[in-house]
């Protein structure tokens, strides 16, 4: 959301016809700024209370594949890619990994980033997605 806290023409919204009472200055924002935030369904805050979930990295459909730093699956043994995790990550581990980058026990920080990016790329239908969705903060 852009930092424009002041909306000089705000009072006009909802009026039947648009009649500005005075000439106001409109801040158009930079081309790259964002002025629309859509409210998305949220489970994140309740995740700990409603689900004990795990995310396999990678999922069973890609067993054996390595994970590149950007989170993509690559052939086993690819240089610079992280080996598959031998155990699934618990929900709380994923939450702190995604939020603060803190590394799950027994995982080196560089691989952890690859795993985090893999998890961020999970989509509906993939193993671990609902767990991720329930932990995820709004985009």
By CB under 8 A, what part of segment 48-67 binds another protein?
48-55, 60-63
| Binding residue for another protein, selected from 37, 75, 77, 86, defined by CB under 8 A | 37
Closest CA to 118 of 83, 86, 76, 77: 83
Residue 75 binds to another protein (criterion: CB under 8 A): no
Q: What 8-state DSSP symbol labels residue 57?
A: S
| Binding residue for another protein, selected from 7, 87, 102, 120, defined by CB under 8 A | 7
Closer to another protein at the Cβ: 109 or 125?
125
CB of 69 to another protein, least distance (A): 16
Residue 69 binds to another protein (criterion: CB under 8 A): no
Residue 130 binds to another protein (criterion: CB under 8 A): yes
| Binding residue for another protein, selected from 57, 73, 97, 107, defined by CB under 8 A | 73
Q: How far is CA 118 from CA 14, 83, 136, in A?
A: 44, 12, 14
> Left (φ > 0), alpha (ψ -120 to 50) or beta: where does 84 sit?
beta
The H or E element spanning position 66 is: strand 66-67
Residue 40 binds to another protein (criterion: CB under 8 A): yes
Asked if residues 55 and 128 have their Cβ atoms less than 8 Å apart, the reply is yes
């Amino acid at each position: 959301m852009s930092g424009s806290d002041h909306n000089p023409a705000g009072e006009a919204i909802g009026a039947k016809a648009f009649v500005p009472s005075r000439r106001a200055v409109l801040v158009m924002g930079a081309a790259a700024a964002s002025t629309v935030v859509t409210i998305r369904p949220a489970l994140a805050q309740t995740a700990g209370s409603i689900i004990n979930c795990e995310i396999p990295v990678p999922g069973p459909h890609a067993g054996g594949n390595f994970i590149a730093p950007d989170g993509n699956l690559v052939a086993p043994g690819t240089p610079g890619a992280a080996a598959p995790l031998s155990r699934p990550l618990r929900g709380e581990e994923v939450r702190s990994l995604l939020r603060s980058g803190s590394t799950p026990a027994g995982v080196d920080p560089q691989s952890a980033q690859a795993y985090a990016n893999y998890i961020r790329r999970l989509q509906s239908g993939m193993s671990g997605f609902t767990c991720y969705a329930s932990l995820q903060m709004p985009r």
